[in-house]
Amino acid sequence: MYNEPIFLKPVFKDRIWGGTKLREAFGYEIPTETTGECWGISAHPNGPSEAVNGPLKGKTLDQVWDEHAELFGNQEGDEFPLLVKILDAKTDLSVQVHPNDAYARKVEGEPYGKTECWYIIDCAPGAELVYGHHARSKADFEQMVAENRWDDLLRKVSIKPGDFVYVPNGTIHAIGTGTMILETQQSSDVTYRVYDYDRRDAEGNTRELHIEQSIDVAMIPHEDAKFEPVESVVEGLKETKLIREKYFTVYRWELDGAVEGYENPAYLLVSVLSGEGEVTTQGGTYTIKKGDHFIIPSTVKQFSVNGTVECIVSHPTV
Ligand code: ZN
| 87 alpha carbon – ligand 1 mean position (Å) | 11
Q: What integer pLDDT is reported at residue 68 of this predicted model? A: 97
Question: Any catalytic annotation for residue 207?
Answer: no
Distance 128 CA to ligand 1 centre (A): 15
> Could you give the percent of the chain with pLDDT greater than 90?
96
The model's pLDDT over 219-257, given as tens digits with 9 standing for 90+, comes to 999 999 999 999 999 999 999 999 999 999 999 999 999
CA 23 to ligand 1 center in whole angstroms: 22
CA distance 10 to 272: 13
CA 119 / ligand 1 centre spacing (Å): 13
Closest CA to 6 of 252, 264, 208, 308: 264
User: How far from 224 is each of 102, 155, 221, CA to CA, in Å?
Assistant: 22, 11, 10
Q: Which of 136, 193, 199, 207 is catalytic?
A: 193
- In the chain, the domains with their CATH numbers are 6-217 (2.60.120.10), 230-316 (2.60.120.10)
Quick one: how far is CA 159 from the chain centroid? 17
Centre of ligand 1 to C-alpha 183, Å, is 9
Mean pLDDT, the chain, integer: 96
For residue 116, the CA-to-ligand 1 centroid distance in Å is 7
Q: Residue 269 — pLDDT band, cuts 50, 70, 90?
A: very high
* C-alpha–C-alpha distance, residues 87 and 178, integer Å: 10
Total-model pTM: 0.96
